Amino acid sequence: MNENEQLFRSMLNLGEKPKAKVSPVSETKNDSGGKFDFMGAVKETLNEVPYNVSVTENGAIGYKTTGHPLLDINFAASSLRNKSDREIIDMFEKAYYDTPLDSILWLFYLRDVRGGMGERRSFRIILKHMSENHPEVIAGVIPYIAEYGRYDDMWVLLETNFRKPVLELIKEQIVSDLNGAKENKSISLLGKWLPSRCSKNPKNKEYVRVICDGLGIAPYTYQKITSTLRKHLKIVECDMSAGRWSVIDYNKVPAKANLLYNSAFLKHDEERRRKFLSALENHEEGVKINAGTLFPHDIVHKYWNNLKCDQTLEELWKALPGETGDANTMIVCDGSGSMWQPIDRKAGNNSLRAVEACFALTIYFAERMAGVYKNKFITFGSRPKYISIANCKTLRNKIDLLRMYEDCSSTNVEAVFDMVLETAVNNQLTQEQLPNTVLILSDMEFNDSYACYPRLDATLFGHITKKYETVGYKMPKLAFWNLCSRTGTIPMKQNENGLVLVSGFSPATMKMVMSGNLDPFDAMLDVLYTERYRPIYETVKGICNGSREMEEQA
C-alpha cells in the first residue's frame, strides 16, 4: 500500500484493504471433484453463435453445424449432388471419426433404394474411399451392397484392393444364375447390371476387361453369359432393340422402364399397351404396374411440361408405395424463386428442379395424411397461402393447381409462423390444438428477419421461437426437409417440442420425421438402428463403436 493510500485510509478509519474473495473449488457451480470437462465446455461454446454461424442466400442467420457431423451430412444429403468428391469424403470422414458404427449404418441408408434415400453417386464415392482407407470395415459388407443398391455399385471396388473378393462374388453369382436359368428358376439381377461389352463408356469397357481377365474368360464367353442371363431376366431393353414388342409382359416391366419407354410402347405396340392401361384403370385382377423403385419426383418431373393427362403417369402415381404421415402434421411447401434452380446444377436445365421435388412430396404426403390436414397444405413465397387438392381428380390437376399459386418474389418462412401464431391467438387455441408437427419442404434459403439484422447472435428461428413464448405458446415440433440448400445453413439445432433434420427425395424419409424422439440426432438413429440395417450392424459392430446397441430380435 503506498503512502497516500495509507494516509487516506487512516483518516477515513477504513482499516486494511479487503482482499478479493476467491471461492474454493467446492463452492463453484461446476464442482465435479476437480474433474470439470473444460474441453467439453469449449466444444459447447463453439457450437453456439457467434462462433457457429451460417447465413442463407437471403440473409437469414442459422448454424453451420448441429454439433453432430453425421446429422450434418444427413441434412445435406440432397446437396451432395453438387459437391465435389473431396467435399463429400471430408463430410463423411468427420462423421466416421465421431461415430463410426452410426456412420456405416447411415452409408447404407443413404444408398438404400427402398427403405432409405436411394442416393447413388455419393454412396459410391464414400464406398471407394472407405475401401482404400478403412478396408477392415468394408471387407464384410461387400455381399450386402447389391441388396441395398445395385450390383454395379460394386464396380468402383474393382479399382481397389478389393478387386479379388468382388470378382469371386461375381463368379459365384454367375454360376448360380446360369444354373437357375437352366432350371427356369428366379435369378439375381447381376446379369442386368454387368457392364456391356459393346458399351461406348470407356469406364464400362475397362470393367469388362477387368472382369474377363479376373475370371479368366474370353470376351466372347462373357458376351454369351450376359446375353443368356438377360434373356432369362427378360430385360425389356433387349426385346425393344430386337423389335420383339409383342413378347413384352407389361405386368413385369420395371418401374423406371415404364417411366422412360411409355411413348415407345405406344408407338410400336399401341393396342396391347392401351389395353394394359385400361385394365389397370379398371382394377382388373392380376394386372399391375411396377412403381416400387420410383420416387414421387420421378413422375412429377416427367409430367412437368406435359400439358395433357398421361394415363401411364397417373397409374404409376397410384402404384407408389404408401408412407403414411402423422394425422396432425401441417405441410409447408416452399414455392419461392430459388426453388426453380436445378438440384444437380452440373446436369443442366432439363434436370430435376427443387420445386418439382417439393411439389411431388407435398402432394404425396398430403394425399396420405388423415384428419383435418388430409389434402391440405400451406405454400409460401412472400406470404403464406392455403391450398386444398381435395377436389382434384388427377395428379395432372394437382400439379396445375399448385403452379397457379407460384410466388417467386421471396422466401418469407417467418410469415408462415406468424400466420400460425395469429390463428392460435385469434381463436384462443390451446397448445394441443396447434399442429403437432410442421413439415417444411424447402431449399432452406430463407429470408432474414428485420428483428435479427444485423446481429449475428440472433438466429431466424430463435427469433420466431421468442415470438411464440411471448404470448404463451411453444413452437410445434419442426421437421426441416432440405431439398437442395446451397449455403448449408442449418435453421435450428434443438426445439423443446421436437426437431427433425432430413434431406433427400424419398418418401421413406418420413419415418425419420415421424420419430417420437425430440432430439434430431436420436430421431435419425431411430431409423438407422432398425431391422432393415441389422446385417450391416452385425457385420461391423465388432470393429466400430456406435451410439447405441440394436435391440435383439424378439
pLDDT of residue 345: 76
Kindly give the pairing relationship between strand 376-380 and strand 384-388.
Answer: antiparallel
pLDDT of residue 26: 44
Q: Which CATH class is domain 54-66+322-538?
A: alpha beta
Cell numbers that stand for 519 in this block: 432430439
pLDDT of residue 314: 95
pLDDT of residue 51: 86
The closest alpha carbon to 490, from 63, 78, 56, 80, belongs to 63
Quick: pLDDT tens for 98-115. Answer: 999 999 999 999 999 999
Q: Give CA–CA dist 71/95, Å, rounded.
A: 8
Residue ranges of alpha helices (H) inside 216-289 are 219-233, 236-241, 255-268, 270-281
Chain centroid to Cα 397, Å, comes to 27
Kindly give the pairing relationship between strand 329-334 and strand 61-62.
Answer: unpaired
Q: Give CA–CA dist 435/439, Å, rounded.
A: 10
Q: Give CA–CA dist 325/347, Å, rounded.
A: 32
Cell numbers that stand for 363 in this block: 402432394
- How many other β-carbons are positioned within 10 Å of the β-carbon of residue 110? 24
- The single-letter code of the amino acid at 49 is V
Q: Give CA–CA dist 554/538, Å, rounded.
A: 16
Q: Give CA–CA dist 454/417, Å, rounded.
A: 21
pLDDT of residue 323: 65
pLDDT < 50: residue spans in the chain = 22-28
Domain ranges of the chain: 54-66+322-538
Quick: pLDDT tens for 308-332. Answer: 899 999 999 999 987 666 668 999 9
pLDDT of residue 4: 61
